[in-house]
Amino acid sequence: MKKIEVDLVRTKVYNLLKEMILNHELKLGEKLNVRELSEKLGISFTPVRDALLQLATEGLVKVVPRVGFFVTDVDERFIRETIETRIMMEVFCLENYFERIASSEELLKIKEEIENVESSLKRDLFDDADERLHKLFIKASGNELIISLYEKIWDRIDLVRHLNERYIVSNREHKELIESILRGDKEDAVEKLKKHLKNVEEETIRNLYTYEKG
């Protein structure tokens, strides 16, 4: 029972710290004092250290030997590498598993959610639709290795997309992309996906410099 309780605490701390990083409550590049975080969260030192080590394996935290833990610092290279990897994986899946994606019931549900974003302008709805759409392309492959590799970089993707405030424009691009898929126009859909991801890249880099100045 004691081990279960420890595991639950570790998981809870991990989820909380992860949320604080993704929401930028903990700033990019910020040095993380384990003892201060322990006191702030009202828990012992060990679960915090263990959670930070786990976050380091996922790319959200950097461990510097004999110095300590730091929130991963996002720079232009980090963004470009993340988007380049997304293009490689997502475009490949859209091109090779197009029919599965086009006939998916999930695609129609996502289209409906995208329309709800248009009327409500809610960022949390967009974030959900955004994740579902891009992961649909990957999951359509049915390739567990591709799926697991994408899941491993999702936290990195999530960190980058929370530097991007163009969600209304991205939502419109998603809608146009889905329309191309439903028309069965693979070539147009592939081009729209590439253009969408490159637009995200450029806008996120611009926002990064604004974030750094702030």
User: Over the stretch 19-28, which tens digit does the pLDDT of each residue have?
Assistant: 999 888 899 8
Q: Edge-to-edge, what's the strand order for the sheet holding 31-32?
A: 31-32, 68-71, 61-64
Can you list the domains of the chain with their CATH numbers?
Answer: 2-71 (1.10.10.10), 76-213 (1.20.120.530)
Question: How far is residue 23's CA from residue 37's CA, in Å, rounded to a whole number?
Answer: 16
Per the DSSP assignment, residues forming a β-bridge with 69 are 32, 63
User: Over the stretch 178-194, which tens digit does the pLDDT of each residue have?
Assistant: 999 999 999 999 999 99
pLDDT of residue 1: 40
Q: What is the value of pTM for the model shown?
A: 0.85
User: Over the stretch 37-65, which tens digit does the pLDDT of each residue have?
Assistant: 999 888 888 899 999 999 998 889 999 99
Residue 28: how many other CB atoms lie within 10 Å: 18
**pLDDT band with cut points at 50, 70 and 90 for residue 126:** very high
